[in-house]
Amino acid sequence: MKKTLLSAAIGAAILGAASAASAGTLQDVKAKGFVTCGASQGVPGFSNPDDKGEWSGIDVDYCRGIAAAVFGDPKKAKFVALSSKDRFPALQSGEIDVLTRNTTWTVSRDTSLGFNFRTVNYYDGQGFLVKKGLNVKSALELSGAAVCVQTGTTTELNLADYFKANNLQYNPVVFEKEADATSAYDAGRCDVYTTDQSGLYAMRLKLKNPDDNIVLPEVISKEPLGPAVRQGDDQWFDVVSWVHYAMVNAEEFGITSKNVDEMKTKGGPDVKRMLGNEEGTKIGTDLGLTNDWAYNVIKLVGNYSEVFERNVGPNTPLKIQRGLNALWNKGGLQYAPPIR
Amino acid sequence: MAGNALPSEKPTSSGSSSLLYDPKARGIFYQVLTVAILGLFVWIIVNNTITNLNRANIASGFDFLKGRAGFDIGQTLIDYSSDSTYGRALLVGLLNTLEVAIIGIITASIIGFIVGIARLSSNWLIAKLAQIYVEIFRNIPPLLVIFFWYKGVIAILPQARASLALPFGTYLNNRGLFFPKPLWGGGAWLILVALVVAIVLSLVIRRWARLRQEKTGQQYPSGLTALLLIIGLPLVTFLALGAPLSFEYPVAGKFNLTGGSVVGPEFISLYLALSFYTASFIAEIVRAGIKAVAKGQTEAASALGLRGNMTTRLIVIPQALRIIIPPLTSQYLNLTKNSSLAVAVGFADVVAVGGTMLNQTGQAVEIVTLWLVIYLSLSVSTAVLMNWFNSKMALVER
């Protein structure tokens, strides 16, 4: 009896200690041999498991990029499916190392929730999906509508603000899971479904009659989506951020997963520096990684353009144009600080 | 030699071993040890939580309840908008939980009593139907019963633009039940006063009738008088005031019916599921309670010349209630706690609203604490109320 109690207490103490000692996430990740990323419960194009449990999407590729940078192996990434409501406690508690789950960067999440955001891997904005039969042409005609929305999202708050600002009435129908909100909309419980525009296109594919639904022209919010990490761990924050910057810089330099080996030896000095082929370079080791980290990210996962085209681009069912997500020198917002 | 040494050694050795083998001392030792380990465990948990919260720069405390909520809630019993505070949002959720729990408990009790008695019926068909009901609902998880109502029944009702018209200006579609909203005119509060007066009068009459019966043996129909008073007095007041009541009827709007009052499918499915599910347990408790009253009691009552319904009312039910009430309390507590399954169909109960708040503010420890306190107080109040009722019903020993 005494022994069981004592061992229980020791067990509890170890558990407590384990969750307390997570300041050096990079060391923890290296020690356990894989990186744990928070993913969605299924948003096509962003993070979506297929029927074999294989994940795909641009958020998934971000996570694989981190695994490639740390281990030189994109397969050393594990995904935890999280609802919008569970994602923040999962990161706070250390269940996941980084949240790569179409999460909007806001000041309160940056501060009071205790997270850090820096890179934006997808610039999005909130829109509305309605049934064609309602003959609605603008969101301003939606007064009195029932709106399906997922709880615990910025979407839910933007919705309240937008309808209030425009003096419109509405009846919110709130679900915890995206799938439940979708099926309620499909069953006619709501007139309108609202989420980020990328999500609307993805979700429309899942409806019974996708062509009977249209996305309204209004974009009512800014939704910069990017990865979040816990505050107070600058090294890990840097690793996560520079994986994205490496992908964007690679696109700018024209480095792809196909030509990266060639570029490593034949590219200009800035290309060679980025790929870790510069005499006496310390960029990788200063990040806490190896000097071929960026090479691994591009070789094994691809540059930003490849990731975008593969998951959400015009040749995928989602058919999303680059738009705001084009490079800064092509009229978009994707801009990466130099690697030097 | 050895025989002599033994008695002289005994007192010295027992001095140290008696404390070790003394059951009382050992008992105290283990109790102190258990408390110490428990204390250490709690200290580690609390300390670890505080350390982690500080390290993650998460603010703690309940100040966030005064902040602007920013989200809307579909079903509210009190005024609420996105400008209201988090505290008020939580209150909206709590009232929704109470609403579904109280109405659910009443309905479950009614269905449960009817089905429980039906199972004892001598009519084969009624008894079997009641048994089938109990076996079906008792053996399905409550969550599935909720989904059955939400996705199986309500979702296949007509669409909003093709609502099913029912009598009295009531409509039914897959977005809920729409019914006329009563609009009370001036002086309507007098009707409420009349109702209160009628209830007080009924209680006075009942007391007087009982005293008179004890003294003279004469009976007075106090139940009938009370019924007449409670219905009649408010009705007379209503008519005397010139019927100050009008209705706002639901009418077809652009998207859905507008005006009137509406009960959403989320509430309906949760309420029906909780009522039907819990009723199956209550039915069994009622059946057990009635079965437990010895047959001799009924026989003795009829030997004394009591009629059938008086036997049931004065002999069987009071004794059955003593057995029914304690397990019934557990079922009421279960129903209240099961109402947290509301989150599955998007009904804004205290857990759903709290979850949204948790997500926005990140105050996980505080909100989970609030949840615990709320459910604990709900359960304790129910238990206290039922214990009071139980003590009223318990056998009075003279």
Residue in chain A closest to B253 (alpha carbons) equals: A144
H runs (alpha helix) in chain A:
2-20, 25-32, 58-71, 87-92, 107-110, 154-165, 178-186, 197-204, 234-253, 260-266, 269-274, 283-286, 293-300, 304-311
Q: Which architecture characterizes domain A20-123+225-330 according to CATH?
A: 3-Layer(aba) Sandwich (3.40)
B31 Cβ under 8 Å from any chain A Cβ: no
Pick B18 or B203 by higher pLDDT.
Answer: B203
The structural domains of chain A, with segments of one domain joined by +, span 20-123+225-330, 128-221
Interface of A with B in 149-188 (CB under 8 A): 151-152, 156-157, 159-161, 163-164, 170-176, 180, 183-184, 187-188
Q: How far is A17 from chain B (nearest CA, A)?
A: 8
Q: Summarize pLDDT for B24-63 with one digit per residue, the tens.
A: 888 899 999 999 999 999 999 888 888 877 776 666 778 8
Determine whether the interchain pair A156/B364 forms a contact, defined as Cβ–Cβ distance below 8 Å: no
Confidence bin at B102 (pLDDT 50/70/90): very high
| Chain pair A-B, CB pairs under 8 angstroms | 138
Q: Would you say residue B2 has pLDDT above 80?
A: no
AA letter at A294: A
> Across the interface, do B48 and A19 touch by the CB < 8 Å criterion?
yes
Same fold, A20-123+225-330 and A128-221: yes
CATH of B86-138+263-393 among 2.60.120.10, 1.10.3720.10, 3.40.50.720, 1.20.970.10: 1.10.3720.10
B58 part of contact set with chain A, CB < 8 Å: yes
Which 78-107 residues of chain B touch chain A by CB within 8 A?
81-83
More confident residue, B330 or B394: B330
Question: What pLDDT score does B33 carry?
Answer: 94
Q: Which DSSP symbol is given to B173? A: E
| Other beta carbons within 10 Å of A75 | 11
Nearest CA distance, B83 vs chain A (angstrom): 9
pLDDT at res. A13: 42
Q: Are A46 and A102 in contact (CB under 8 A)?
A: yes
Contacts of A101 in chain B (CB under 8 A): none
Q: Cβ distance A331 to A274 under 8 Å?
A: no
pLDDT value for B22? 84
Domain parsing of chain B, residue ranges = 18-57, 86-138+263-393
Structure tokens that stand for A158 in this block: 């933007």
pLDDT tens series, chain A, 340 aa: 344 444 444 444 444 444 434 468 999 999 999 999 999 988 888 999 988 889 999 999 999 999 999 999 999 999 999 988 889 989 988 999 999 998 999 998 998 888 999 999 999 999 999 988 888 888 888 888 899 998 878 889 999 999 999 999 898 998 888 888 888 898 888 999 999 988 888 888 888 888 888 888 888 999 999 999 999 899 999 999 999 999 999 999 999 999 999 999 998 899 999 999 888 888 999 999 999 999 999 999 999 999 999 999 989 888 888 988 999 999 999 999 999 8
Minimum Cα–Cα distance from B257: chain A residue: A144
pLDDT tens track for B8-19: 444 444 455 677
Number of alpha carbons in the 13 Å side-chain half-sphere of residue B215 = 7
Kindly state the percentage of chain B with pLDDT values over 70: 94
Is residue A11 within 8 angstroms of chain B, CB to CB? no
- Cβ contact B57–A191 (<8 Å): no
pLDDT tens-place string over residues B76-95 = 888 898 889 999 999 999 99
pLDDT above 80: residue B144: yes
Residues 6+ apart with CB under 8 A from B43: none
Mean pLDDT confidence for B333-357: 91
Tokens 């591009």 -> residue: A298
Q: Which CATH architecture has domain A128-221?
A: 3-Layer(aba) Sandwich (3.40)
